[in-house]
Amino acid sequence: MREYLQLLFLSFFLTHLLIFVFRFISLKYQSLSRKQKVPLVGGVSFALAFFASYFWLSKVSNIIIPPGFMFVLTFAFAMMVIGVVDDIVDFSLWTKIIIQVAVIMLYLRVGKINQIYFLPGWLNYLISFLWIMGITNAFNHLDIYDGLCGGISLVISLGFLAVAFFQGNWLFFGLFLVLSGVLAAFLFWNFPPARVYMGNSGSHFLGFLFATMSMYMDYATRMNPSSVFVPVVIMAFPVIDTSFLILARLRKGVTPFKKSDDHIFLKLITEGYNPIYTLGAMICLSIMWGITGVSLNFGASPLFFSVFVLSLIFTARVILPVLSSRK
């Protein structure tokens, strides 16, 4: 346990240090500050802190790290680098899509894919592709307000951290502990009013990492097959928000990939809700789905159904004002 406390402190401290340094450089040289002159250095800072802490974990602990897992880290790093370039030059929509498709397809050639035993290989491949593509962009869509993507990402990371703990999976416990530490440090700088943004480098890194790491963990057993849905439930809020966004755009007759203000969060702001109140509601909603996902890890028990129903009710309570709006 002492090693894990050191790991948490290292990730938290290193993120603060990198953000401070990169923010200073960005403000001095007016680089990576496209949005309202707030530096877009948060993502690259917590990503680098995550990698540094991971390598420290691999050196000082007795945890056996599968060689194949290096593909996850390598491609997550690639996503972060591509995001940095995007933050600098601002890729067009189709350029982003082409790059993401190429990176994800290349990853699936060498990395782990879903292995649902009763499905043919090509369908497992397709599900894996859609899962990574969807979750990566879901987190990118969440990065629309100070503290929103970072806060929800921290909640989701803590949910996976709890699952890893109850499974006794100490590799992923350490990795999600690191991720939670870097995100907690980032929120110190990103909570309203934000002094740094994560940028595309951070949102794409987080989305890809959550998608691929969740595929690498084992959930379902013969005694508990329903737990295969644990990652979907833990990340229910980004999935719900992106699904709502796509449906709202299709209803307007515009492409789902085109930028618009059809996010649940932005719709609530348009309805007159206080931004901080709305931010808190989104994070609380994510917490409820996180608890639901962790409870599903123990099976489809009365506890799971109880928190599942509560999460559905709270979700409906948050979304109904948006659905009834004509704006």
This prediction has a pTM of 0.93
**For the segment 1-10, what is each residue's pLDDT rounded down to a tens digit?**
777 788 889 9
At 70, the pLDDT band (50, 70, 90 cuts) reads confident
What is the pLDDT at residue 280? 94
Average pLDDT for the chain: 87
What is the pLDDT at residue 258? 65
Q: What mean pLDDT do residues 264-290 have?
A: 92
**For the segment 177-221, what is each residue's pLDDT rounded down to a tens digit?**
999 999 999 999 999 999 999 999 999 999 999 999 988 877 655
Q: Is the pLDDT of residue 327 over 60?
A: no
What is the pLDDT at residue 275? 92
Q: What mean pLDDT do residues 8-20 have?
A: 95
**For the segment 128-172, what is each residue's pLDDT rounded down to a tens digit?**
999 999 999 999 989 999 999 999 999 999 999 999 999 888 888
Residues 47-57: b if buried by 16+ CB within 10 A, e if exposed = bbbbbbbbebb
Contacts of 49 (CB under 8 A, 6+ apart): 11, 14, 15, 18, 182, 185
Pairwise pLDDT comparison (106 vs 27), residue with the higher score: 106
Length, in residues, of the chain = 327
CA angle at 185 for the pair 181 and 187, rounded to the nearest 5°: 115
Residue type at position 81: V
- CA dist 132 and 174 (Å) reads 22
